[in-house]
Amino acid sequence: MTRRQMRHHMYVALQDDDKISIFTMNPSTGALSWQEDVAIAGGPAPLALSPDKRVLYVGRRGSQEISSYGVDQQTGSLSLLGTTPLQGEPVYVSTDRTGRFVLSAYYYQSTAAVHAVDDDGVATFPPVEWQFTAHGAHAILTDRSNRFAYVPHIANRGPNRIFQFRFDERTGRLTPNDPPFHGPEEYLGPRALAFHPFLDVVYFSDEQGSSVTAYAIDAEKGTLSPLQTISTLPAGYTGNNTCSQIRISPTGEFLFAPNRGHNSVASFRVDDTTGRLTAAGRVGTEPVPRAFGLDPDGRFLFAAGQQSGRLASYSVDHESGDLTPLETYEVGNNPMWVLMTTLDG
C-alpha cells in the first residue's frame, strides 16, 4: 500500500453523546473526513487498541463496563464482540505488549485491574487482578519489556505517587515492586505516562505541577528515578492550569503535553541519548484540551477541547517540533479520547 493510498483512522470517544466518531485522515495533508458514528451507551471514554490492531477496547464510565470491538481492517468500522462488567468506573484502558491482557485504572475506586483476553479478543470476567492502590489512580501501562507496570496518582485528590508493579505476562498478575511506589518530592500530581521508544525513560504529565517529569527506569528492577521536571507553561503565567494526557512521537524526537487553563499544547525536543527535554514552545488550542492524539507517522497532532466540543489539528515541524495550526472540526460533547492508527487491510 503506497503512502498516497493509505488512510489513517481516528477514533474519538464522546462521553456525553454516547458514541465514538470514526474519521479517516489523509497522511499527506492531515485533513480529516468523517466516516461514521458508532452508538455506545454508558459514556465511552478511554480507548485502547490491541497490538495487532484487530480489537478496540472501550471503557464505559457511566455503565462501568469494558466493551471489546472488532476492527474491520479495510474500513476501520467497529463490530461489538463482547462486554465485560466492572467493579468501578474506568478512567484508563490499555493492553500489555502481548495483547493477552487488558489493564485499567479506577480513579474513584482506588484500583488497578487486569483482565485476560479470550481467543476472540474479548476482555473476560472476573479480572485476573483487582489491586487496590490509592484514590486518584489515573493510568496504567506496561513498559517496553512488558515486565513492569506503572500507575500514576494525582496530588490534590490522591497521594502524589507512582505505584510500581512487576507484571507477569504469562498470568497477568501484578506484584508490588520494592519500593511499591515513587513519591515525588514536589507537589506534581503524576497523571498520564508515555514511554520513550528505545531509551529506558518514561515521561509523566504532572496534573497539579503543570509540568512533565522524565524518569529513568532501572532495566533490572523496574524502579523509577527522576531525571528532570520541566514546566509546560510560559514564564510568568499565573492563571489556573492542570495538565492532562501526554504523547511522544514514534521516533522519540518530540513530546507533547496539553495545558487545561492556559489552553495550549506544549512541545518539547527529546535528547536521543539522555532522554532529557528542551522546551520547544506552545500553541493555543481549544478550551480544556483533555484528550489529544498523534498520527502514526508523528506528522500531525489533534487536540480535543472538552469544553468546546471541537478538534483542532496541527502539523508537526520535523526539525523543531513546533506546531502549526491547520483546521478545526466539530466533533461533539465531552470528547474524552483521541486514538489514531493505520490499518494493514
Q: What does the pLDDT average to over 288-302?
A: 97
Q: Give the pLDDT confidence score for residue 4 in this predicted structure.
A: 42
Domain ranges of the chain: 91-342
How confident is the model over 212-232, as pLDDT tens digits? 999 999 999 999 999 999 999
Q: pLDDT band at residue 345, thresholds of 50, 70 and 90?
A: low
Per-residue CA distances from 7 to 32, 224, 251, 327 (Å): 10, 38, 20, 18
Q: Give the pLDDT confidence score for residue 309 in this predicted structure.
A: 98
SS3 120: coil
Whether 2 shows a pLDDT value over 90: the answer reads no
At position 265, the amino acid (one-letter code) is V
Report angle CA 33, 39, 42 to the nearest 5 degrees. 130
How confident is the model over 230-289, as pLDDT tens digits? 999 999 999 999 999 999 999 999 999 999 999 999 999 999 999 999 999 999 999 999
* CATH hierarchy code of domain 91-342: 2.130.10.10
Cell of residue 281, nine digits: 514552545
User: First and final CA of the chain: distance in angstroms?
Assistant: 9
Helix and strand tally (H, E) in the chain?
Answer: 0, 29
Q: pLDDT band at residue 44, thresholds of 50, 70 and 90?
A: very high
Mean of pLDDT over the chain: 96
Whether 152 shows a pLDDT value over 70: the answer reads yes
Report angle CA 193, 324, 25 to the nearest 5 degrees. 75
| CB 303, CB 315: distance < 8 Å | no
Nearest to 174 by CA among 113, 88, 225, 87: 113
How confident is the model over 160-197, as pLDDT tens digits? 999 999 999 999 999 999 999 999 999 999 999 999 99
- Other C-beta atoms closer than 10 Å to the C-beta of 51 total 12
Whether 3 shows a pLDDT value over 80: the answer reads no
**96: buried, middle or exposed (CB in 10 Å: 19+, 13-18, 0-12)?**
buried
**Percent of the residues in the chain that have a pLDDT greater than 90, as a whole number:** 97
| CB 212, CB 277: distance < 8 Å | yes
Cell of residue 5, nine digits: 493510498
| Count of CA atoms in the C-beta half-sphere (13 A) of 56 | 31
pTM: 0.97
Distance CA 56, CA 138 (A): 20
Q: Give the pLDDT confidence score for residue 7 in this predicted structure.
A: 72
Burial letters 7-22, b for 16+ CB under 10 A, else e:
bbbbbbbbbebbbbbb
Q: What does the pLDDT average to over 89-108?
A: 98
Q: Which helix (H) or strand (E) holds 115?
A: strand 111-116
- Other C-beta atoms closer than 10 Å to the C-beta of 304 total 30
Q: Give the pLDDT confidence score for residue 6 in this predicted structure.
A: 60
